[in-house]
Homo-oligomer: A and B are copies of this chain.
């Protein structure tokens, strides 16, 4: 358990924690892998969410998943991607949290994951919470603690 005081400081900017789905690049599970490759070269994230037609998050995909698929022994052959869909190479282990946030849970999960997917009560993808956004609040916290102690 963390105290209410600490939780409140960390949650002060909770509105900013969530990088909303409109701002997060994603691909569909039935998209051709070549589409995902193009997409991933244009975004700053290493891995992006994979959604199904219902708007549920079903996986994550990154350049490494696709480049691995192109390798033929030590040679790289883009024709290996032909016919493959995003769902054929995506990672299916996705760290998920629900809004409203539990800060303690977020802090723990972000140790092992660069970002967490956020879903609503219908299990639909609404955005992500990143290490970057939480670190902004931590910067705020370490200063705030001192002000309160003085």
Contact = CB atoms under 8 A, between A and B. Distances in A.
Interface of A: 1-3, 5-6, 10, 34, 37-38, 40-41, 46, 63-64, 67-68, 70-71, 74-78, 104, 107-108, 110-112, 114, 131-132, 134-136, 138-139, 141-143, 145-146, 149
20 contacts: A3-B149, A5-B149, A6-B146, A40-B64, A40-B67, A41-B68, A41-B71, A63-B67, A67-B67, A70-B78, A77-B78, A78-B78, A107-B142, A111-B132, A111-B135, A112-B132, A114-B131, A131-B131, A131-B132, A135-B135
B38 A64 contact: no
Contacts of A104: 142
A64 B15 CA distance: 31
A42 to B, nearest CB: 9
Given A2-B143, A6-B145, A64-B40, A138 B77 contact: no
B142 A131 contact: no
B74 A38 contact: yes
Contact of A146 (B3, B108, B136): B3
B149 A135 contact: no
Top 8 A-B residue pairs of the complex, sorted by shortest distance between their CB atoms: A63-B63, A46-B46, A76-B78, A3-B146, A131-B131, A2-B142, A111-B135, A6-B142
